[in-house]
């Protein structure tokens, strides 16, 4: 069992070392068999990955290198076996990206897995989750189930009832081989039009391994298949924000093709557990 303080300590230490460009010390934040998966630093939706302190330090030094990035974490959720972080990235004072991470540590406080996804900034930066009203966890889960069902069945009338007028939507490119641009837009009508034209009817099957709720936020971790019995070709971490009445006002889909951890023969998301 990991305490929230252990998660916060190793997270703060790792971020401080990255800011200082001390990649050798940053690698030492990981357990001997710990692994790291970070979305390609230069923008493609694949993961740069390594296992073990030395290999991770080499990846950070040679691939990431010094960058003037300043992360701001607005949501921090430490569970017994998993930590979820969501925040924003700034460069030269400009809001440039949104990110989410899933982190596990051992009893010694060393990182056993760290998966990081990021996407370009869209909408407005979120306030700290602690500053917002709580929304019933079961209500958020029910709304999210309706959202997923509406998307998978192209039920756009139900989608209209789920979203707020000024909802923010960001999703990986629907047809990346034809157009790698993310499907990003703001506003319920714009979201419905984008998904109707761009997404349409698809055979994607979402296998969600974890649901994590906190105040007015929800996070889901899992993999997607091309058809219910098809191959796993994608991993995702979805991040949602809700109004007190249960409507969804922000959905950010983070993901990787191939799945995070695939190059290391690791699962795309952490092992299932109740939360």
CATH code (residue 188): 3.10.450.50
**143-157 pLDDT, tens per residue?**
999 998 888 788 889
Give the pTM.
Answer: 0.90
In the predicted model, is pLDDT for residue 268 greater than 80? Answer: no
Whether 38 and 143 share a structural domain: no
Per residue in 170-210, pLDDT (tens digit) is: 988 777 677 778 888 999 999 999 888 877 555 667 778 89
Co-location of 14 and 120 in the same domain: yes
Same domain, 37 and 48: yes
**Which residue range is the domain that position 34 belongs to?**
4-126
Last residue of a domain, one of 104, 126, 148: 126
User: Do residues 145 and 244 both lie within one domain?
Assistant: yes
112 and 139 fall within a common domain: no
Q: How far is CA 14 from the centre of its chain?
A: 18
Does residue 229 belong to any structural domain of this protein? yes
Query: How many domains is the chain built from?
Result: 2
Same domain, 116 and 136: no
Co-location of 109 and 139 in the same domain: no
Structure-model confidence comparison of residues 1 and 83, the more confident one = 83
> In the structure, what pLDDT confidence band is assigned to residue 272 with cuts at 50, 70 and 90?
very low
Residue 238 placed within a domain: yes
Same domain membership, residue 79 and residue 59 = yes
pLDDT confidence bin for 22, thresholds 50/70/90: very high
Q: Are residues 63 and 94 in the same domain?
A: yes
In a domain, 271, yes or no: no
What is the average pLDDT value for the chain, to the nearest integer?
89
Mark which of 95, 126, 157 sits at the end of a domain.
126
Per-residue confidence (pLDDT) for residue 269, from 0 to 100: 56
Residue 133 included in any domain:
yes
Both 157 and 85 in one domain: the answer is no
Is residue 179 located within the same domain as residue 204? yes
Q: Which region among 50-54, 153-157, 236-240 has the lowest average model confidence (pLDDT)?
A: 153-157
Q: State mean pLDDT over 29-37.
A: 97
Q: Does a structural domain hold residue 11?
A: yes
Are 65 and 166 contained in the same domain? Answer: no
Asked if the structure places residue 266 within a domain, the reply is no
Q: Is residue 264 part of a domain?
A: no
Q: Tell whether 269 is covered by a domain.
A: no
Single residue among 94, 126, 158 that ends a domain in this structure: 126
């Amino acid at each position: 069992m990991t305490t929230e303080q252990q998660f916060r300590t190793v997270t703060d230490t790792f971020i401080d070392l990255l800011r200082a460009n001390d990649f050798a010390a940053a690698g030492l934040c990981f357990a001997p068999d710990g692994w790291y998966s970070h979305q390609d630093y230069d923008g493609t939706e694949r993961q740069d990955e390594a296992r073990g302190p030395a290999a991770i330090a080499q990846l950070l030094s040679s691939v990431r290198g010094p960058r003037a990035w300043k992360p701001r974490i607005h949501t921090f959720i430490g569970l017994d076996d998993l930590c979820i972080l969501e925040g924003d990235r700034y460069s030269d004072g400009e809001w440039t990206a949104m990110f989410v991470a899933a982190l596990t540590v051992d009893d010694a406080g060393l990182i056993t897995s760290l998966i990081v996804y990021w996407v370009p900034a869209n909408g407005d930066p979120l306030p700290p989750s602690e500053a917002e009203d709580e929304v019933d966890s079961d209500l958020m889960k029910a709304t999210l189930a309706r959202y997923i069902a509406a998307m998978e069945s192209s039920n756009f009338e139900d989608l209209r009832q789920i979203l707020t007028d000024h909802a923010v939507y960001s999703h990986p490119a629907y047809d990346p081989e034809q157009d790698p641009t993310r499907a990003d837009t703001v506003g319920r009508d714009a979201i419905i039009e984008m998904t109707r034209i761009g997404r349409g009817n698809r055979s994607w099957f979402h296998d969600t391994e974890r649901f994590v709720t906190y105040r007015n936020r929800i996070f889901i971790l899992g993999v997607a298949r091309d058809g219910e019995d098809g191959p796993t070709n994608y991993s995702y971490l979805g991040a949602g924000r809700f109004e007190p009445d249960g409507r969804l006002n922000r959905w950010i889909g983070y993901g990787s093709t191939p799945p995070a951890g695939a190059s290391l023969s690791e699962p795309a998301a952490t092992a299932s557990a109740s939360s």
